[in-house]
Homo-oligomer: A and B are copies of this chain.
Amino acid sequence: MNSFTEENYLKAIYHLGGEENTAVATNRIAELTSTKAASVTDMLKKLADKSLINYVKYQGVTLTGKGRQTAVNIVRKHRLWEVFLVDKLGFKWDEVHDIAEELEHINSAQLIDRLSDFLGNPKVDPHGDPIPDKNGNFHKTELIRLSAMEVGQSGTISGVSEHSTAFLQYLEKIGLTLGKIITVNDALEFDGSVSLTVNEKEITISSKVAKNILILL
């Protein structure tokens, strides 16, 4: 079994390398895990010894098949627990991240299978992020950024690409939550801000906010 700490490094490498599994730099990992580069180097050696990553000195790392499988499984657990916290225990979507960060390290395949069934085998978490199945496969959906929509177009809010509490609380406040249908009324050239209709009301959001909302057309 891998330690709690090893799991967090694998998860960090997975998130930084993305689905394409591009090489990840030591410093990026250090930032994400709130450690120092020297500590990361130590851990990379250990993970390479366990064949969880491909590591060439000074050249960054990628996950091996085994490493990716491990990382994706942690992501699966994290997201399923988030669904549990929101759907069953009544937490808000901005409150669940830290608790899921702990729950994701509980080790029991049976537990996760049963939890998934109990939740109705959800395909996305409360932020719209996809939940991989037990084989590590993602259900692919084509989402575009709200900022990329044309004037007049409609779509459903289906995810966010920024998960900070502040951002999520702001979206909640202005009514831009998962599943809401919106229509773009206008897009200002000069600052990228967007006017849109949601809940039969017109609101305007900044370019930065629009970039972090994901839409299913």
Contact = CB atoms under 8 A, between A and B. Distances in A.
Nearest to A85: B111
Number of copies: 2
Contacts of A114: 89-91
A99 B89 contact: no
A107 B102 contact: yes
A122 to B, nearest CB: 15
A102 B1 CA distance: 14
A107 B85 CA distance: 14
Instruction: Determine chain A's interface SS by DSSP, over half rule.
Output: helix
A3 to B, nearest CB: 11
A106 B111 contact: no
A8 to B, nearest CB: 15
Interface string A79-117: 000000100111100000011001100111011001100
Interface residues of A, number: 17
A24 to B, nearest CB: 29
A118 interface: yes
Contacts of A115: 89
A99 B103 CA distance: 11
A91 B107 CA distance: 15
A111 B99 contact: yes
Nearest to A115: B89
Contacts of A118: 88-89
Nearest to A114: B89
A56 B106 CA distance: 36
Interface in A130-161: none
